[in-house]
Structure 1
Amino acid sequence: MKWLVLLGLVALSECIVILPLRKVKTLRETLREKNLLNNFLEGQAYRLSKRDTEIATHPLRNFLDSAYVGTITIGTPPQEFRVLFDTGSADLWVPSITCGSPACKTHNTFNPQNSSSFREAGQTVTIFYGPQLIHGLVGSDTVRIGNFVSLNQSFGLSVVEFGYDGVPFDGVLGLAFPSISITRAMPIFDNLWSQGAFSEPVFAFYLSKSKPEGSVVMFGGVDHRYYKGELNWVPVSHTSRWQISMNSTTMNGEVVACSHGCQAFVDTGIPSIYGSKEMVTNIHKLMNARPEGSEYVVSCDAVNTLPPVIFNINGIDYPLPPEAYIIKEKNSCISAFHGVVQAASSENWILGDVFLRQYFSVFDRKNERIGLAPAL
C-alpha cells in the first residue's frame, strides 16, 4: 500500500429559570425579516446538525503517526475488519479467507460462506497502490461504519496481496470520487449518501499527534470542537481524487517549491509529504539534511532552529513547523519530505498525515471543496 511506499454524549446540565413573559423576536425571525436567514443557515450547516443522528464521529487508532485505522464490519452476522480510511482511493477491499499471501495470514479475512447477505458479482479486480497491489474478486454485502449501514455495498476480496506484510490494517476504505473506482462500483460514502444516511454529504478528519487515541473521522457534518478559528474553503480542482491548487511553498520568505503554482492531493492514506525530487532537494538543502538510504537524516536540534515550511493554498498560508516535518525515530531524526521523479511539465504534491495532523480537514462532496482550519 502507498502507506508503505510513498513510504467522541456530552451530559449537559439543564437550568430552568422563570422570567416574566414578554414577546422577544427570535434570531430566526430577525434574520428572516432582513432576508439573511438562508445565508445564516448555509453558513452554519457544517457546525450544527438538525438531529444528533445526522453527524457521527468514528474513532481511529493512530499507529505511530504512520497510519490512522478504524473498525468496520461486513456481512450478516458482522465480521470485523480494521481499515485505512483513505481519501486517495475510491474502493473498499478486505482479504478473503481464500487468500494465500503471507500478509493475509496475519490479518482478519472475510468468509463469504458465513454471511447470509453476501452476493457474488462475478468479476475480478486488481488494484495498484504504487508497487503494492491486491488482486481478487468483487462481491457485495452489508457494511457498517459505526451506526451507518450501507446495504448491497460492493467491495473487493483479495486473494493475492503484495506489499502488505506488517501493516496495522486489514484493508482499505476509499473516500475519493467515484470516477476513480477500479471496481466501477459506487463507493461506500456515495452509497450512504444515496441511502439518506446523512443530510450533509461531508466527512472530516481529526488526526492526533503521537497519541494512539483521540483521532476521528466524522460523517454528515462537522464538530467545531476539533479545530480553532474558521474553516477556509478550497475548491477541488479535479473531481477524481481530492485535488486542489497550491500557490507556492516557502521557507524563510524564500520560495522553495511551487513557484508558478502547482497541484496538491490531500491524502489521508499517506503518512508523509511528497513532491518533485528537485523541489524536495531544495528543501533538504535548507534543512542541512543528508541522505541515508531512502531517508534524509536531520539534526534533532534543528527542531529549535529551522523555520516552518509554508504552503500557500488559495491565498492563505498553512505553516508546517519543524516539529511536524522532522520525525523522531529512536536515536535519529528524519525529514518527512520525500521526492519523487515527475514530468518536467508538472509539479504535484501529496499532503499526507504530516500536514493533516496540523490542519483539521473537511471534505465536501456536494460543493466539491475542502475545508481546512488549525487542529486543536
Structure 2
Amino acid sequence: MATKNIKPSLADILFPEARDQQDFAEGILSVPPEQRKLHTETYDFTVGTVVEKLVDQSIFIPHFQRRYVWTDPQASRLIESLIIQCPVPVIYLNQEGNETLSVIDGNQRLTSIKRFLQNEFTLKGLTAYPELEGSRYFELDPRFQRHIQNRTLRCIVILKDTHPQVKFDVFERLNSGATKLTPQELRHGLYFGDLMSLAATVVKENDLLSFLEIKHDKRMKSEELVLRFWALSEDFDSYRKPLSIFINDFAERNRVLSPERKASLKSSFSDVITGVKNLLGPLSFRIFDLDMRVESTFNSALYDALMIGISMLQRKNAVKEISMRDAQQALANLVEKDEKFRKSISIATSDDTQVRYRVDAIVNLFKK
C-alpha cells in the first residue's frame, strides 16, 4: 500500500484560523456557567494620570503586544483629537495579580500620548489646528498643555477574579490588529512569568530551532511545542480537548516556579528530545515513506506522540534498543499500514481519543 500524503484540508488552507476559533469557543464551554461572566470596572482616567501610571509601570505594555508602529503624523492626529475633544476609543486593561494593569487594547494610542507628553516628537499633519504644526509638548501654551492633561480616557479594566479562560477568549476577541496574534503570543502575555521564560531558555539550550529547521520563530511556535510537551507529559491521563485550553490551564498553574521545579522541567524536555533524536535522527517528527522520502517536514501531532510516548518509556527504562535505521523503518511502516494512526496525526488531532491512540501506538512500537 502506498503511503498517503497527509495534507491540511482545503478549509485549513483557506481559513487557517478557524480551528483556533473553535478551540476558543470550546474552551469557554469548558468553564462552569457561573464562571463565564466577565468581571469589569470602568474608569475615566485623565491623560495626565495615565501617563504617570505608564511611567511608574502601574500600567504597562505586556510582552505579547506588538511593537509601537505608529508614525508621528498618526500620533499627531491623536493629540489633535484630544485638543478638539474628539472621542478616543476605549482602552482595555487587564488587572494583574499584583494590582498593576496590563494593556490589552490601546498600546499604540497610549504610547503615542506618552511620547508626546515626554517631548519625543513634534506635531505633524494637523488639519484642525495647523497653527500648532511643528510644536513639541513643552512648546505649547500652558493652557493647551492643561487641556490635554485633563482630557479623560475611558478605560475598561478586566478584573483579576475573571476566569483565566474567559480572559483568554476576550483577548482573542480584541486581537484585531493587521497581524493577529497566535494563541501562544496571547498565552505568553497573559501568563507571562517563570514558565514562559523557562520555555524560551529550553528552546535555546536544546537548539530546537535548528533541529526543527525553523529559521525565524517570530510567532513563538517552538516555545508552544515545549509547553505542550510539559502539559501533556505531566497530566496526560486528564487530557481533554481543546489542546490550546489544556496548555493554558497548565500555564496558569505554573506561572511561578521554584528553582527545583525549573530544573525538573528543563531536564524532562532535554532527556526526551535527546531520546527521540537517538531513535530517529534527522527524521524525527517528520512524515516519510519506507524509502525515507519526506512528505511532511514537521507534524505537530506526531511530535506529541513521540515526545509523550518516549517520555513514558524512559520513566520505566523501557525504550527498545534499536538502530536508527530500524526505528525509522518501524515508524514509516506504522504510518503506512495503520490507518487509525494515520488519521490520529492528520484529522481532528486534538480529540482525546486521537491523542491517546497515537501515543499508545508509539509506546507499543518502541517499548522493550
TM-score by length of structure 1 reads 0.20
Q: Which has the higher helix share?
A: 2
Q: Which has the higher strand share?
A: 1
User: Is the radius of gyration larger for structure 1 or structure 2?
Assistant: 2
TM-score by length of structure 2 reads 0.21
